[in-house]
C-alpha cells in the first residue's frame, strides 16, 4: 500500500509541466497583443522584446509561430496595428538571416491572396500585401535576393490597380525599392518587369515618378536610346511632351489637395530640367502657361510651392528671371485676395521656403536677389510681404547692407517701372493715373520706412553699428530736413536726390518712425555681447559707451550748422535755437562731471535733455518752456550740491521761488502728457534719480494730478462752460421769447437731446421714437411757425389743410421743412460729437493719470523710509474709494487696480518703512483715528480692507523698529523676550487700544458692518499687545453679539488670540488662568442658549464655539490649570437632547472631540446596522416571491396546464438545476411583466394559497383593491 500511495502522490504532479509551459508561452503571446495596441511606444517596446526573446530561446517552433502571427497581423483590421506587425516582421527577418525572404514572400501571397479572400476582407488583404512588402524592404536584405525584389515589384504592380484603397502607396514603395538596389539588379531583373510602367510614364504621376527615380539612380541603364524606345523621345522635357507633363502635374496637384504639400514628381521634374538644360522651357511653358490656365486652386498652389522649393537649386540669373515673372504676379494676387477671412493662405509656407533658403545659402548676391524681388512685388505700390518680415534675420552682413542701400535708393527715387506691380479688378476700375501714381509712391515709401525701422528693431538681425546709425540718420534727415545743394561727405544723406518730393503725409510717417527708432535704440543691447558676458548688460549705448541718442543729437547739430547745404522743414526761431544750444551746453556740462565719476543720476538727466531736445524738432512751441525750466532746474541743483554750507542762506533768500525739484516734477508731469513710451520710461528713470531730493510740495503736485475731487471740479467746470455756450447760442435764435421760458425750454431741449442720443443707437428706430417720445420744445415751436406761415396747419373747422395748398405752396413748405429738419439734425449731431469728444478727453486724462502712477510707484519703492511717504496714505485711499464707485470701463479698472497694487503691496507690505516719525506722534495718532472712523462708516467691505491695512501700517510706523532688530546679538533671556513683545515705541497704547476696541464693538454690535474678522485677526497677529487689550471685549461678545454670526466670529477671534504664543507669554500665569475661566463661562452661557440649530448660520456658530471649547478644555487639562470645567461639561452633555447629531459631519466630529477630553467617548452604532440590513433583505425577498408567481399564473392560465397545479409544490423539490432554471424564468418574467398582469392573477386563487406564504398572501390582499378597481374600470 505504501508503494501505491507513492504512485498516487506522484501522478498529480505531472500536469504541472504544461502549466509552466503555458505560463512561459503567455509571456511570448503578450508580445503579439502589444503589437496591436494604438500606443506607438508600446508597439516599439514589444518589437524589441520579441526579438530579444526569440534570440534568447532560439526555438524553431516559436520562430515559426512568430512568422505565422506576424504575417497574419499584416492585414489586421485595426489600422494602427498593421505598421507594428510590419515593423516586427522586418526586424525579425533582419535578425534571423537564415530565414529565406522568398519563403516569407510566398507565405504573404498565400495568406493574403486577393483572389481567394472574401469580398469583405479584400481591403485588409490589400494592406496585408503592401505591409508585407514594406517589411521585406525594411529587413535590408532585398539586395541579396534579386528574385524577391522582382516578386515584390510584381506584387506592388498588381496592388497599384486598387487606388481607391491604397492610393499611391504601391508606387511610392516601388520608388523606395529602386533607391536602394544596385544598377546591375535593375538591369538584369527589374527593367523587364517595369517596361510597361516606364513606357506609360505620362499617364499618371506615380508612373512618371518611377521613371524619374530610375533616371536619377540608373542613368547608364536608361540611356537616351533606351528612353527613345520607351517614350518615343530621347529626353523627357521637350516641346512635344510639355502638354503631357502639364496634365500629369495637374493630376498630382489635385491628388495632394488635402495634404497641402508639394508632390515629389514636380520637384523631380524641376531637377531634371536643370540637368537637361531645359529649365526655361519647362518653367515658361509647363508652369507659367500651362498651370495657370485654370482658375485659382491646387494647380496655382503647386506652382507657388515649386517656386519656393526651387530657390536653392537655381543660379543667380535663373533666380532673377523666375522671381520677376508671371508666377510671382499670381502669387501677389493670391496674397492680396487671401487677406479675407476663411481664405486659404499660402504666405506662411512661402515665408518658410524663403527662410530655409536664406539660412542654407551663403551667397550674398543670391540672398539680395531674393529679398529685392519679394520686396518689389507690390500691389499699387505697397509690397505684399510684411514690413516686419522676419526672414531678414538670416541675411549675411554684406547682403543686409546691400538690401538697406536698395531700400534707401528706392525711397529716394521710386522707379515704378522696375517694380512687379499689379492691381486687383476693383482697383483697376477705380484707377486714375495721376492720383494713383502719387498714392502708390506714398504707399511704397511708407512700407520702406517701416521696413528700415523693423530691421533696426529686430535684435536677431546681424547688423553693425554703422548700419544702425545710417538708418537712423536717414530717417531723421528726411523727416525734418531737405537738401539745398550737394553736401560734403559728412552729410551723405543730402547727396541723394528725391525724384518725387516728400509730402506732409510721408513726413508724418517718417517723424513717427524716427521716434519709434529712438525707443528701439534706448533698449538696444550691445552689438558685441561677448565683451560683456560677466558684466551688467548695457542698453542704449554703443560699443564705446556713447548713447545712441547723443550721436543723433550731434548729427542734428551738424545739420543745423550747414544752412547752405541743408535746410530744416520747420526752421527754429531765435528762442528755439537758443533753447537747443542751451540743451547742448547742459549735456556737455553733465558729460564733464560724468568723467569724474559716472552716476545714474547724470545719465538719466542726459537722456532727458537729449530726448526733449529731439522733440523740439517735432513740437518746438510746446517744449520751449520745458527746456528752459529744465536747464534752470539743473543749474540750481548743481549749485546746491556745490554750496552745501550756504544752503540755509540760499533758502532764506529764495523762499518765494519754488524749489528746483518742484519745477523738475512739473516738467516731468508735462512730458508725461506726451503720447510717447520713450518719454514715459525716461521720465521714470529721471524721477528715480531725483527721489532723494523730492520735497513735500513736489509730492503734493503729483498727488494733485491724481486727486479725484479736483478732477470732478474740472469736469463740472467744463460742463458748465459748454452749457453756457449752448444757452447763449439759443438765446440769439429766440429773441422773441421771454428769458424764463427760454431757460426752461433749453433745459428741456438738453434732456430731450440726451434721450435722442440714447435712442439713436437703435439703428433705424429714430423716427418712430421721435414720434412716440418727447420732442424738443424749441423744435416744436419752429415747426409750428413754419406750418402757420404756409397755412398748412389743420384747424377744427377744416380737418385737412392740404386741399387749400397749391403746388408752389407745397414746394415752398417742403423747402422750409427740409431746412428746419436738417438744422435739427445738425444740432443732434453736434451734441453727439461733443459727447464723443468729452469721452476721448476723459480717456486721455485717465491715461495720463496711469502714467503719473509710475512716479508714485517709483517714489514708494525708492523712498519707503522717508517721512514723506506717510503723505501718500490718504490720497491713495481716496483714489481707491472713489474708483470703486466710478465707471466700469477698462481704463478705470486698470487705473484702480494699479493704485490698489501700489498701496497694498508696495506701501503697506514693504519691509522698509519710516522709522523716524517720533516728532509726528500726535499727527499720526490723529491720522489713525481718522482712518478708523472712516473705515467704520464705509459700506463696501473691500474698501474697508484698504483703510484697515492703512491703520495697521500707521501703527507699525508709530511703533518703529523692534529692539531685537537693532541688536546685533540675539538675546536668550526670557524676560528680555517679553520686553521685546511689550515694546510699542511711540504708540499711545491706551488711545490706540480704545480706537480698535470701538471698531471691534462696532463690528460685533452692527448688523451690517464693513469690518471682518480677518482684519482683527491680522491685528492680533502683528500686535500682540493690542490683542491682549482687546481680548476682554472679544470674550464678552461670545454671548452679547448682535447676531449669531457675530458671536461665532467672536469665538474665532478669541481662539486665534489664545493660539498665539506671544499672547500667552504676555498674559503670564494668573492672567492666563483668569482668561480661561472667563472664556469657559462665556462658552457655557453660549451653549446654554443653543436651540435646534437648524439654520446654516446657527450651525456655523455652534461649530466655532465647539472649536474654542476644544482648545480651552485641551489646554486646561494639559497645563493642569485650576479652572472649573464641570459647568461646561454639563452644558455640553445636555446638547444631545436639544440637537439631533448625525453619524458624521464637522459639527458632530467637533462635539465628540470636545467630549473626548472629558472622558466621554462617541457611542458605537454598530447594533443598528443588522436591523436595517435585515429589513432591506426582507423587502426584496417579498418582491422576488411576489412578481414571479404572478407571471407563472399568467403563463399557466391555459386549460392544458391546469391539471399540473396540484403537483406544483412537489415539483419544486427536485435538484438545483430545476431551481436555477426556475429563477431564470422568474427574472425574465419580471422584466416582461404585462400591463394586464393584475387581471390575470385573479384567475387561479386556489394555486395562490398553495404556493405562497402567509406574509406574501397578506401583501397580495393589500394590492387586491387596486386590482379590483382596475377590473371595474374595464
Residues in a beta bridge with 483: 566
Q: Are the C-beta atoms of residues 940 and 917 closer than 8 Å to each other? A: no
pLDDT for residue 192 is more than 90: no
Question: Residue 657: its pLDDT value, please?
Answer: 59
With a CB cutoff of 8 Å and minimum separation 6, the contacts of 241 are: 202, 231, 233
DSSP helix/strand/coil, 883:
helix
- What's the rounded mean pLDDT across residues 244-257? 90
Task: Please report which confidence band the pLDDT of residue 3 belongs to, taking 50, 70 and 90 as the band edges.
Answer: very low
pLDDT for residue 729 is more than 70: no
- Which parts of 74-168 fold into alpha helices (H)? 81-95, 101-111, 122-138, 146-159, 163-166
Helix (H) or strand (E) holding 378: strand 377-379
* C-alpha span between 986 and 963 (Å, rounded): 13
* C-alpha span between 468 and 453 (Å, rounded): 9
Q: State percent of the chain over pLDDT 70.
A: 77
pLDDT tens digits for range 746-796: 443 444 434 434 334 443 344 434 433 445 677 777 777 777 776 665 554
Q: How many Cβ atoms are within 10 Å of 1142's Cβ, its own excluded? A: 7
Q: Are the C-beta atoms of residues 131 and 82 closer than 8 Å to each other? A: yes
Angle between helix axes 1126-1138 and 1096-1119 (nearest 10 degrees) is 150
Question: Residue 11: its pLDDT value, please?
Answer: 38
pLDDT for residue 531 is more than 60: no
Question: Residue 1213: its pLDDT value, please?
Answer: 42
Q: Which of 627, 604, 601, 603 is nearest to 614 (CA)?
A: 627
- Of residues 920 and 1192, the one with the higher pLDDT is 920
Question: Residue 1163: its pLDDT value, please?
Answer: 77
Task: Please report which confidence band the pLDDT of residue 475 belongs to, taking 50, 70 and 90 as the band edges.
Answer: very high
Q: Are the C-beta atoms of residues 303 and 327 closer than 8 Å to each other? A: yes
- Of residues 1199 and 293, the one with the higher pLDDT is 293
- Of residues 81 and 1186, the one with the higher pLDDT is 81
DSSP helix/strand/coil, 383:
strand
Question: Residue 682: its pLDDT value, please?
Answer: 84
With a CB cutoff of 8 Å and minimum separation 6, the contacts of 435 are: none
Interior/surface letters 1184-1196, b for 16+ CB within 10 angstroms, e for the rest: ebbbbbbbbbbeb
Q: State percent of the chain over pLDDT 90.
A: 21
* C-alpha span between 673 and 837 (Å, rounded): 17
Count of residues making up the chain: 1274
444: which 3 cell numbers?
511704397
Task: Please report which confidence band the pLDDT of residue 991 belongs to, taking 50, 70 and 90 as the band edges.
Answer: very high
24: which 3 cell numbers?
512561459
DSSP helix/strand/coil, 422:
strand
- What's the rounded mean pLDDT across residues 173-189? 82
Q: What is the bridge-based pairing of β-strands 481-483 and 420-422?
A: unpaired
Q: Which of 507, 336, 549, 320 is nearest to 428 (CA)?
A: 336
Question: Residue 408: its pLDDT value, please?
Answer: 93
* C-alpha span between 396 and 1206 (Å, rounded): 108
Task: Please report which confidence band the pLDDT of residue 301 belongs to, taking 50, 70 and 90 as the band edges.
Answer: very high
Q: Which of 707, 703, 700 is nearest to 881 (CA)?
A: 707
DSSP letters for 1155-1212: HHHTTPPPPP-TTHHHHHHHHHHHHHHHHHHHHHHHHHHHHT-SGGGGGGGTTHHHHT
DSSP letters for 1166-1178: TTHHHHHHHHHHH
661: which 3 cell numbers?
525739484
- Which parts of 989-1125 fold into alpha helices (H)? 989-1005, 1013-1022, 1024-1040, 1044-1059, 1061-1088, 1096-1119
Q: Are the C-beta atoms of residues 1031 and 1079 closer than 8 Å to each other? A: no
pLDDT for residue 1248 is more than 70: no
Q: What is the bridge-based pairing of β-strands 382-383 and 377-379?
A: antiparallel
Distance of CA 1 to the CA centre of its chain: 87
What's the half-sphere exposure (Cβ side, CA atoms, 13 Å) at 346? 28
With a CB cutoff of 8 Å and minimum separation 6, the contacts of 1139 are: 1090, 1092, 1093, 1102
200: which 3 cell numbers?
506609360
DSSP helix/strand/coil, 972:
coil
- Of residues 416 and 595, the one with the higher pLDDT is 416
Residues in a beta bridge with 525: 539
Task: Classify the phi-psi angles of 344: left when phi > 0, otherwise alpha if psi is within -120 to 50, otherwise beta.
Answer: beta
Q: Which of 307, 373, 304, 293 is nearest to 338 (CA)?
A: 304
Q: Are the C-beta atoms of residues 1067 and 1025 closer than 8 Å to each other? A: no
1232: which 3 cell numbers?
416582461
Q: Which of 703, 587, 714, 695 is nearest to 651 (CA)?
A: 695
Question: Residue 282: its pLDDT value, please?
Answer: 92
pLDDT for residue 649 is more than 60: no
pLDDT tens digits for range 553-571: 999 999 888 888 888 888 8
Question: Residue 996: its pLDDT value, please?
Answer: 92
Q: Dmax of the chain from CA atoms?
A: 145
- Of residues 1126 and 1176, the one with the higher pLDDT is 1126
Q: How many Cβ atoms are within 10 Å of 460's Cβ, its own excluded? A: 9
Task: Please report which confidence band the pLDDT of residue 612 belongs to, taking 50, 70 and 90 as the band edges.
Answer: confident
Question: Residue 405: its pLDDT value, please?
Answer: 94
pLDDT tens digits for range 1189-1221: 555 554 444 444 333 334 334 444 444 444 444
- Whole-angstrom CA distances from 250 to 231, 291, 300 are 20, 7, 10
pLDDT tens digits for range 255-283: 888 888 999 899 999 999 998 889 999 99
* C-alpha span between 38 and 84 (Å, rounded): 9
Q: Which of 615, 582, 361 is nearest to 511 (CA)?
A: 615
pLDDT tens digits for range 130-162: 899 999 888 888 888 888 888 888 888 888 777
Interior/surface letters 1043-1058, b for 16+ CB within 10 angstroms, e for the rest: ebbbbbbbbbbbbbbb
Helix (H) or strand (E) holding 985: none
Question: Residue 1196: its pLDDT value, please?
Answer: 47
CA 990, 996, 999, 1003: dihedral to nearest 10 degrees?
-120
pLDDT for residue 598 is more than 70: no
pLDDT tens digits for range 796-822: 444 444 455 677 777 777 787 788 788
Task: Please report which confidence band the pLDDT of residue 918 belongs to, taking 50, 70 and 90 as the band edges.
Answer: low
Task: Please report which confidence band the pLDDT of residue 835 belongs to, taking 50, 70 and 90 as the band edges.
Answer: confident
Question: Residue 317: its pLDDT value, please?
Answer: 93
- Of residues 966 and 89, the one with the higher pLDDT is 89
Question: Residue 1273: its pLDDT value, please?
Answer: 40
pLDDT for residue 887 is more than 60: yes
- Whole-angstrom CA distances from 453 to 13, 306, 473 are 89, 32, 12
Task: Please report which confidence band the pLDDT of residue 948 belongs to, taking 50, 70 and 90 as the band edges.
Answer: very high
pLDDT tens digits for range 361-397: 999 999 999 999 999 999 988 999 999 999 999 999 9
What's the half-sphere exposure (Cβ side, CA atoms, 13 Å) at 430? 8
pLDDT tens digits for range 93-136: 988 888 888 988 898 888 888 888 888 888 888 889 889 999 98
Question: Residue 1219: its pLDDT value, please?
Answer: 47
What's the half-sphere exposure (Cβ side, CA atoms, 13 Å) at 736? 4
Amino acid at each position: 500500500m505504501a508503494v501505491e500511495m507513492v504512485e498516487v502522490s506522484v501522478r498529480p504532479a505531472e500536469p504541472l509541466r504544461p502549466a509552466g509551459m503555458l505560463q512561459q508561452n503567455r509571456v511570448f503571446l503578450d508580445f503579439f497583443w502589444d503589437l496591436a495596441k494604438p500606443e506607438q511606444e508600446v508597439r516599439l517596446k514589444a518589437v524589441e522584446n520579441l526579438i530579444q526573446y526569440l534570440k534568447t530561446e532560439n526555438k524553431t517552433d516559436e520562430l515559426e509561430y512568430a512568422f505565422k502571427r506576424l504575417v497574419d497581423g499584416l492585414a489586421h483590421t485595426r489600422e494602427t496595428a498593421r505598421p507594428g506587425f510590419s515593423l516586427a516582421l522586418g526586424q525579425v527577418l533582419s535578425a534571423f538571416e537564415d530565414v529565406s525572404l522568398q519563403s516569407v514572400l510566398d507565405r504573404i501571397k498565400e495568406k493574403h491572396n486577393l483572389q481567394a479572400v472574401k469580398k469583405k476582407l479584400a481591403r485588409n488583404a490589400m494592406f496585408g500585401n503592401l505591409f508585407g512588402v514594406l517589411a521585406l524592404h525594411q529587413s535590408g536584405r532585398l539586395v541579396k535576393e534579386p528574385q524577391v525584389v522582382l516578386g515584390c515589384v510584381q506584387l506592388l504592380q498588381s496592388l497599384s490597380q486598387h487606388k481607391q484603397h491604397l492610393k499611391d502607396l504601391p508606387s511610392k514603395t516601388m520608388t523606395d525599392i529602386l533607391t536602394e538596389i544596385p544598377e546591375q539588379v535593375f538591369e538584369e531583373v527589374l527593367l523587364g518587369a517595369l517596361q510597361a510602367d516606364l513606357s506609360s510614364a505620362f499617364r499618371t504621376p506615380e508612373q512618371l515618378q518611377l521613371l524619374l527615380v530610375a533616371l536619377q539612380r540608373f542613368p547608364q541603364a536608361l540611356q537616351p536610346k533606351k528612353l527613345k524606345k520607351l517614350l518615343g523621345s530621347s529626353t523627357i522635357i521637350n516641346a512635344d511632351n510639355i502638354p503631357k507633363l502639364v496634365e500629369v502635374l495637374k493630376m498630382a496637384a489635385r491628388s495632394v489637395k488635402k495634404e497641402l504639400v508639394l508632390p515629389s514628381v514636380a520637384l523631380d521634374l524641376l531637377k531634371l530640367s536643370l540637368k537637361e538644360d531645359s529649365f526655361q522651357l519647362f518653367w515658361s511653358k509647363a508652369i507659367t502657361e500651362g498651370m495657370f490656365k485654370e482658375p485659382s486652386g491646387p494647380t496655382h498652389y503647386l506652382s507657388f510651392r515649386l517656386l519656393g522649393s526651387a530657390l536653392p537649386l537655381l543660379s543667380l540669373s535663373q533666380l532673377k528671371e523666375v522671381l520677376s515673372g508671371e508666377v510671382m504676379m499670381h502669387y501677389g494676387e493670391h496674397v492680396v485676395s487671401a487677406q479675407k477671412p476663411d481664405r486659404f493662405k499660402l504666405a506662411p509656407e512661402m515665408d518658410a521656403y524663403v527662410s530655409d533658403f536664406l539660412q542654407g545659402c551663403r551667397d550674398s548676391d543670391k540672398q539680395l536677389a531674393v529679398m529685392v524681388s519679394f520686396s518689389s512685388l507690390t500691389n499699387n505700390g505697397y509690397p505684399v510681404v510684411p514690413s516686419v518680415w522676419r526672414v531678414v534675420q538670416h541675411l549675411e552682413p554684406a547682403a543686409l547692407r546691400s538690401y538697406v542701400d536698395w531700400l534707401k535708393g528706392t525711397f529716394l527715387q521710386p522707379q515704378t517701372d522696375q517694380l512687379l506691380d499689379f492691381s486687383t479688378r476693383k482697383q483697376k476700375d477705380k484707377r486714375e493715373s495721376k492720383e494713383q501714381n502719387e498714392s502708390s509712391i506714398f504707399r511704397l515709401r511708407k512700407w520702406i520706412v517701416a521696413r528700415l525701422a523693423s530691421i533696426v528693431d529686430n535684435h536677431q538681425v546681424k547688423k553693425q553699428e554703422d548700419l544702425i546709425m545710417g538708418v537712423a540718420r536717414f530717417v531723421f534727415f528726411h523727416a525734418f530736413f531737405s537738401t539745398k545743394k550737394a553736401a560734403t561727405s559728412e552729410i551723405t544723406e543730402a547727396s541723394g536726390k528725391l525724384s518725387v518730393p516728400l509730402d506732409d503725409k510721408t513726413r508724418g510717417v517718417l517723424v513717427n518712425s524716427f521716434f519709434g527708432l529712438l525707443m528701439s535704440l534706448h533698449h538696444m543691447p550691445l552689438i558685441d555681447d561677448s565683451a560683456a558676458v560677466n558684466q551688467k548688460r548695457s542698453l542704449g549705448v554703443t560699443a564705446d559707451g556713447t548713447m545712441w541718442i547723443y550721436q543723433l543729437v550731434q548729427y542734428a547739430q551738424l545739420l543745423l550748422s550747414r544752412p547752405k547745404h541743408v535746410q530744416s522743414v520747420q526752421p527754429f526761431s531765435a528762442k528755439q535755437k537758443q533753447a537747443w544750444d542751451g540743451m547742448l551746453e547742459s549735456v556737455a556740462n553733465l558729460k564733464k562731471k560724468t568723467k569724474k565719476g559716472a552716476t545714474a543720476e547724470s545719465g538719466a538727466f542726459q537722456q532727458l535733455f537729449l530726448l526733449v531736445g529731439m522733440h523740439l524738432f517735432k513740437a518746438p512751441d510746446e517744449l520751449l518752456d520745458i527746456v528752459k525750466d529744465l536747464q534752470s532746474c539743473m543749474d540750481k541743483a548743481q549749485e546746491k550740491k556745490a554750496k552745501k554750507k550756504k544752503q540755509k542762506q540760499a533758502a532764506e533768500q529764495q523762499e518765494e521761488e519754488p524749489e528746483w525739484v518742484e519745477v523738475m516734477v512739473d516738467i516731468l508731469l508735462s512730458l508725461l502728457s506726451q503720447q510717447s513710451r520713450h518719454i514715459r520710461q525716461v521720465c521714470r528713470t529721471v524721477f528715480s534719480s531725483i527721489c532723494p531730493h523730492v520735497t513735500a510740495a513736489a509730492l503734493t503736485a503729483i498727488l494733485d494730478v491724481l486727486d479725484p475731487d479736483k478732477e470732478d471740479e474740472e469736469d463740472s467746470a467744463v460742463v458748465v462752460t459748454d452749457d453756457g455756450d449752448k444757452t447763449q447760442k439759443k438765446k440769439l435764435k429766440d429773441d422773441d421769447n421771454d428769458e424764463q421760458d427760454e431757460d426752461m425750454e433749453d433745459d428741456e431741449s438738453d434732456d430731450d437731446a440726451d434721450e435722442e442720443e440714447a435712442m439713436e443707437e437703435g439703428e433705424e428706430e429714430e423716427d418712430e421714437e421721435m414720434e412716440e417720445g418727447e420732442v424738443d420744445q424749441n423744435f416744436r415751436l419752429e415747426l409750428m411757425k413754419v406750418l402757420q406761415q404756409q397755412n398748412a396747419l389743420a384747424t377744427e373747422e377744416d380737418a385737412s389743410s392740404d386741399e387749400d395748398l397749391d403746388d408752389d405752396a407745397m414746394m415752398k413748405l417742403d423747402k422750409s421743412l427740409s431746412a428746419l429738419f436738417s438744422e435739427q439734425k445738425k444740432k443732434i449731431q453736434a451734441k453727439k460729437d461733443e459727447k464723443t469728444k468729452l469721452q476721448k478727453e476723459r480717456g486721455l486724462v485717465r491715461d495720463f493719470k496711469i502714467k503719473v502712477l509710475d512716479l508714485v510707484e517709483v517714489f514708494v519703492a525708492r523712498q519707503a523710509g522717508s517721512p514723506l511717504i506717510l503723505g501718500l496714505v490718504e490720497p491713495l485711499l481716496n483714489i481707491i474709494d472713489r474708483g470703486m464707485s466710478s465707471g466700469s470701463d477698462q481704463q478705470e479698472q486698470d487705473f484702480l487696480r494699479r493704485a490698489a497694487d501700489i498701496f497694498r503691496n508696495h506701501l503697506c507690505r514693504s519691509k522698509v518703512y519710516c522709522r523716524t516719525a517720533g516728532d509726528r506722534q500726535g499727527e499720526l495718532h490723529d491720522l489713525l483715528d481718522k482712518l478708523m472712523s472712516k473705515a467704520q462708516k464705509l459700506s463696501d467691505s473691500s474698501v474697508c480692507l484698504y483703510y484697515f491695512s492703512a491703520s495697521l501700517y500707521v501703527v507699525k510706523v508709530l511703533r518703529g523698529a523692534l529692539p531685537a532688530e537693532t541688536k546685533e546679538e540675539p538675546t536668550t533671556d526670557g524676560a528680555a523676550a517679553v520686553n521685546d513683545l511689550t515694546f510699542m515705541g511711540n504708540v499711545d497704547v491706551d488711545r490706540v487700544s480704545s480706537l480698535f476696541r470701538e471698531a471691534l464693538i462696532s463690528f460685533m454690535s452692527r448688523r451690517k458692518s464693513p469690518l471682518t474678522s480677518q482684519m482683527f485677526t491680522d491685528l492680533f497677529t502683528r500686535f500682540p499687545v493690542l490683542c491682549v487689550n482687546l481680548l476682554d471685549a472679544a470674550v464678552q461678545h461670545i454671548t452679547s453679539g448682535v447676531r449669531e454670526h457675530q458671536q461665532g466670529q467672536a469665538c474665532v477671534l478669541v481662539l486665534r488670540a489664545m493660539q498665539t504664543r506671544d499672547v500667552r507669554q504676555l498674559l503670564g500665569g494668573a492672567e492666563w488662568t483668569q482668561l480661561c475661566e472667563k472664556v469657559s463661562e462665556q462658552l457655557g452661557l453660549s451653549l446654554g442658549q443653543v436651540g435646534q440649530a437648524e439654520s446654516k448660520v446657527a450651525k456655523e456658530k455652534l461649530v466655532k464655539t465647539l472649536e474654542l471649547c476644544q482648545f480651552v478644555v485641551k489646554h486646561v487639562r494639559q497645563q493642569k490649570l485650576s479652572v472649573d470645567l464641570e459647568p461646561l461639561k454639563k452644558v455640553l452633555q445636555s446638547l444631545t437632547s436639544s440637537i439631533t447629531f448625525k453619524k458624521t459631519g464637522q459639527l458632530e466630529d467637533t462635539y465628540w472631540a470636545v467630549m473626548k477630553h472629558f472622558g466621554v467617548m462617541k457611542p458605537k452604532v454598530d447594533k443598528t446596522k443588522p436591523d436595517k440590513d435585515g429589513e432591506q433583505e426582507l423587502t426584496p425577498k417579498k418582491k422576488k416571491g411576489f412578481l414571479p408567481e404572478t407571471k407563472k399564473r399568467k403563463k399557466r392560465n391555459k386549460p392544458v396546464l391546469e391539471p399540473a397545479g396540484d403537483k406544483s409544490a412537489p415539483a419544486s423539490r427536485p435538484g438545483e438545476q430545476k431551481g436555477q432554471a426556475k429563477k431564470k424564468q422568474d427574472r425574465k418574467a419580471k422584466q416582461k411583466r404585462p400591463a394586464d398582469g393584475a387581471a390575470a392573477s385573479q384567475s387561479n386563487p386556489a394555486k395562490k394559497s398553495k404556493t405562497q406564504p402567509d406574509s406574501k398572501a397578506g401583501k397580495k390582499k393589500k394590492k387586491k383593491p387596486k386590482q379590483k378597481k382596475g377590473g371595474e374600470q374595464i
